[in-house]
Amino acid sequence: MRQVRIFFAYFAQYAMRRLAYKGDFFAEMFAGILGTAATLAFVLMLFYGAGVQAIGQWSREQVLFIYGFTFIPFGLFNVLSLNLYQFSERYIIEGRFDRVLVRPLGTLPQVMFESFRLQSLHEVAVGLVIITLCAREMGTPLDAGDYGLIALMGLGGFGVLMGVFLILVSASFWFEDRIGIAPPVYNLIMFGRYPIDIYHQSLQFILKWIVPFGFIGFYPSARFIAGDKFGGDLRLAFLLTPVVGLFCLVLAFGVWTRGVRRYSSTGS
């Protein structure tokens, strides 16, 4: 609870600092919205411009529901992960992690809570709008209980994203490099924004059990899009989404802790 209270203190302080320059903040938010709109426009052009009605056994509305759902865990992840992108260069190579170690607070909260990407909260709102419209088009409008379940599954997807990314970032304790190994693996996220069963079996296995990005969009959306197909492995994967998210976070924290113990400063 102490960590939670400190998180809100960090968040409030950062928000006040950012909002002190409202023009700059809203300019960044507008740029973020344009980026999200461009990403979404490409998918809409694929379906409506090129006349694509389905991908595999999934209709246009079902695929768009999955795509829209991914904005929820992505938005939460982007708000909290800003400092992790620069962790290797700023904290390991430049030696700023020494400052983190002398403070009476966990190392991971300090790194994550030092800065936020507040403007990414719009992605969560965009995702909710997309899935609401798609559910209506599919003839299965969402109710309050559905939104509660979507919130839980969105947190599960966020746990997967944060856990995998944190494990990759923690590798910087062993392999000091300005770029790190996160970018190549991070690109796999794009595969998680579409139905997993349209890919080859080997890639499906990777996206389910090795780098579980299938739990970011497809599996958490299964209950809302699968209809009669919702059963067996699909139902199990849906129910496992929060568990997989929690497992990824616990595993990532363990890797991070081992990395901190290995850290030996820059010597400067």
Please report whether residue 267 resides in a domain: no
Let me know the angle formed at the C-alpha of 175 by 171 and 181, rounded to the nearest 5 degrees: 60
> Average pLDDT, stretch 159-177?
89
Please report whether residue 220 resides in a domain: yes
Alpha-carbon gap, residue 7 to 86, rounded angstroms? 20
Which H or E run contains 133? Answer: helix 121-137
Q: Which domain holds residue 208?
A: 2-262
Please report whether residue 165 resides in a domain: yes
Per-residue pLDDT tens over the stretch 40-89: 888 888 777 767 788 888 998 999 999 999 999 999 999 988 888 888 88
Rounded to two decimals, the pTM is 0.89
Among 90-99, 144-153, 237-246, the least confident range? 90-99
State the total domains in the chain.
Answer: 1
For the stretch 259-268, contacts whose Cβ atoms lie closer than 8 Å and that sit 24 or more positions apart, written own/partner, are: 259/170, 259/171, 259/172, 259/173, 259/174, 260/101, 260/107, 260/173, 262/173, 262/174, 263/92, 263/97, 263/101, 263/173, 265/95, 265/97, 265/98, 266/92, 266/93, 266/94, 266/95, 266/98, 268/95
Please determine, for residue 149, whether its predicted confidence score (pLDDT) is greater than 80.
Answer: yes
Please report whether residue 164 resides in a domain: yes
Residue with the bigger pLDDT between 142 and 34: it is 142
Please report whether residue 268 resides in a domain: no
Cα 213 to Cα 65, 203, 252, distances in angstroms: 16, 11, 15
> Average pLDDT, stretch 213-219?
94
Cα 32 vs. chain centroid, distance in angstroms?
A: 16
Name the percent of the chain lying above pLDDT 90.
41
Contacts of 183 (CB under 8 A, 6+ apart): none
Please report whether residue 123 resides in a domain: yes
Position 106 confidence tier, pLDDT thresholds 50, 70, 90: confident
